């Protein structure tokens, strides 16, 4: 995501460590894994409120017996627990009370789950898009359900990850999973969504069903409303669906689609073929707090864009956050620096004088740190992070850097990476001693 921020450099030097370096070298067990989400929802007449049932099957991949799991209800983060996302009538477990500003729900499993075994929970789900211009919100007659569908929290060496949503960038951390989502809605409503999407029942009545199947994605987002759309297939074989709200101009649609088609194929060549077959570009001219937001196979974009526009950056996130995952709260730079660096690669921008020298704070801080740091955080996380990667390319040479990007993506494909994993991948891609580079770029 690219927040609109004012650049303000502050002088702070805090002794934050680089704990993931050590963790990245040990065997990491994360879970629950191999999850299958089955969701059936029906909308009201305006497609703002959806009700139905969600089932999540999963395998205990944590390596130890599992007595409970946690759901993340990120959609409740900003409403003081008035909870626009409600869950009830559980099967397979007993819910506790909502915690972490109503974004976390412990579910004690009916039966303790042994390592390697599969279980499932199911619950009723009701969600209403709040009246705000946000990724989970409303813009006129259009409703947006980003980070609204409940997802499994991750357990790893540090225990359960229940980081808060600080309304700064993203705090999300999920494992790749399969989704099958069926949405019943009025025929006049269009549904851009994660996954390969099709609508049935058209012409037979006033209600139709949109089905979306998504394999190995970290989240599922959709929107609902009277969108207009166009569909093209990129030369590389990706179906690019562009959707827009009524007041978006034709020129903005063409701009996003043209840049999107070029970017998805370029990144496929650089980092490995885009695996999801279809991607949705969802344009709206009303966003105020952000210009773009990434979800698997689905990106929100401001229209018209300024300068290069957010579409290239958000599509780069399909690889960096999406295919190669990370804990976005702990390591926000890991996906944002890579998405920004990928944009530099796409535009042929070498960024020769980008790294500013000794920084007052390291780029590797977590979201909690940046929240206290204030405006100007994105200069470090996005720009200086990408400058570090551009410098790394100069240090090890372009062929080694190309090997690094492809190899790093391949070895963490549908997995999770840490800063330690990145350093290990870089060291494996070159015979050069990288210790001086890490020191000069405060990567420790
Ligand atoms: Zn971003």
Structure tokens at 123: 């619950």
CA of 240 from ligand 1 middle (Å) equals: 20
Of 146, 18, 117, 24, nearest in space to 415 by CA: 24
CA of 382 from ligand 1 middle (Å) equals: 8
Q: At what angle do helices 332-347 and 250-271 cross, to 10 degrees?
A: 100
CA of 293 from ligand 1 middle (Å) equals: 7
What is the distance between the alpha carbons of residues 41 and 359, in angstroms, rounded to a whole number?
49
CA of 363 from ligand 1 middle (Å) equals: 15
Q: Which residue has the tokens 């885009």?
A: 274
Long-range CB contacts for residues 209-212, cutoff 8 Å, separation at least 24: 209/182, 209/183, 209/184, 209/185, 210/182, 210/183, 210/185, 211/180, 211/181, 211/182, 211/183, 212/179, 212/180, 212/181, 212/183
**Domains identified in the chain and CATH numbers:** 33-226 (2.60.40.1730), 227-305 (3.30.2010.30), 331-440 (no CATH)
Are 191 and 67 within 8 A, CB to CB?
A: no
CA of 1 from ligand 1 middle (Å) equals: 3
Beta-strand runs (E) in 66-158: 66-72, 85-91, 93-99, 104-113, 118-128, 136-139, 142-145, 151-152, 155-156
CA of 109 from ligand 1 middle (Å) equals: 36
CA of 65 from ligand 1 middle (Å) equals: 36
CA of 366 from ligand 1 middle (Å) equals: 15
CA of 288 from ligand 1 middle (Å) equals: 16
CA of 57 from ligand 1 middle (Å) equals: 30
Structure tokens at 143: 């409703």
Half-sphere CA count of 262, side-chain side, radius 13 A: 14
What is the distance between the alpha carbons of residues 138 and 337, in angstroms, rounded to a whole number?
29
CA of 66 from ligand 1 middle (Å) equals: 34
DSSP reduced 3-state for 330: coil
CA of 2 from ligand 1 middle (Å) equals: 5
Structure tokens at 181: 């989502």
CA of 284 from ligand 1 middle (Å) equals: 18
CA of 280 from ligand 1 middle (Å) equals: 17
DSSP reduced 3-state for 132: coil
Per-position pLDDT tens, the chain of length 444? 544 433 332 222 222 333 333 344 456 799 999 999 999 999 999 999 999 999 999 999 999 999 999 999 999 999 888 889 999 999 999 999 999 999 999 999 999 999 999 999 999 999 999 999 999 999 999 999 999 999 999 999 999 999 999 999 999 999 999 999 999 999 999 999 999 999 998 666 789 999 999 999 999 999 999 999 999 999 999 999 999 999 999 999 999 999 999 999 999 999 999 999 999 999 999 998 999 999 999 999 999 877 777 999 999 999 999 999 999 999 999 999 999 999 999 999 989 889 999 999 999 999 999 999 999 999 999 999 999 999 999 999 999 999 999 999 999 999 999 999 999 999 999 999 999 999 999 998
Give 151-188 as a 3 state SS string: EECCEECCEECCCCCCCCCCCCCCCCEEEEEEEEEECC
Are 162 and 172 within 8 A, CB to CB?
A: no
CA of 179 from ligand 1 middle (Å) equals: 23
CA of 359 from ligand 1 middle (Å) equals: 21
CA of 185 from ligand 1 middle (Å) equals: 31
Model-level pTM greater than 0.85? yes
């Amino acid at each position: 995501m690219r927040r609109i921020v004012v650049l303000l450099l502050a002088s702070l030097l805090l002794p934050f460590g680089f704990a993931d370096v050590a963790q990245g070298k040990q065997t990491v067990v994360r879970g629950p894994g191999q999850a299958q989400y089955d969701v059936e929802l029906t909308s009201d007449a305006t497609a703002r409120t959806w009700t139905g049932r969600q089932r999540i099957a999963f395998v205990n991949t944590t390596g130890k017996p599992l007595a409970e799991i946690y759901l993340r209800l990120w959609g409740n983060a900003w409403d003081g627990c008035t909870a626009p996302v409600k869950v009830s009538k559980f099967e397979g477990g007993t819910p506790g009370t909502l915690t972490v500003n109503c974004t976390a729900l412990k579910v004690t499993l009916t039966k303790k789950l042994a390592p390697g075994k599969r279980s499932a929970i199911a619950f009723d789900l009701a969600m209403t898009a709040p009246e705000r211009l946000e990724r989970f919100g409303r813009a006129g007659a259009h409703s947006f359900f980003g980070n609204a569908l409940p997802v499994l929290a991750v357990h790893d060496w540090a225990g359960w990850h229940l980081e808060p949503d600080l309304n700064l960038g993203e705090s999300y951390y999920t494992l790749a999973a399969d989704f099958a989502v069926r949405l019943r809605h009025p025929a006049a409503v269009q549904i851009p969504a994660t996954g390969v999407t099709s609508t049935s029942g058209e012409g037979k009545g006033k209600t139709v069903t949109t089905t979306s199947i998504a394999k190995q994605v970290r989240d599922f987002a959709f929107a609902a409303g009277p969108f207009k759309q166009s569909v093209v297939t990129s030369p590389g074989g990706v179906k690019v669906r562009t959707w827009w709200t009524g007041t978006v101009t034709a020129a903005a649609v063409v701009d996003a689609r043209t840049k999107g088609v070029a970017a998805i194929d370029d990144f496929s060549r650089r980092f490995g073929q885009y695996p999801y077959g279809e991607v949705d570009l969802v344009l709206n001219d009303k966003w105020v707090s952000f210009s773009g937001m990434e979800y698997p196979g689905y990106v929100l974009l401001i229209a018209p864009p300024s300068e290069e526009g957010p579409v290239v950056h958000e599509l780069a996130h399909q690889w960096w956050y999406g295919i190669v995952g990370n804990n976005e709260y702990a390591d926000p730079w890991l996906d944002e620096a890579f998405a920004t660096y990928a944009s530099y690669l796409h535009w042929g921008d070498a960024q020769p004088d980008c790294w500013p020298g000794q920084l007052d704070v390291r780029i590797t801080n977590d979201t909690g740190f940046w929240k206290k740091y204030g405006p100007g955080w994105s200069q470090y996380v996005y720009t200086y992070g990408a400058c570090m990667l551009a410098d790394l390319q100069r240090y090890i040479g372009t062929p080694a850097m190309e090997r690094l990007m492809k190899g790093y993506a391949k070895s963490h494909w549908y997995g999770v990476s840490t800063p330690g994993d990145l350093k290990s991948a870089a060291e494996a891609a070159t015979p050069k001693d990288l210790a001086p580079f890490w020191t000069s770029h405060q990567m420790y």
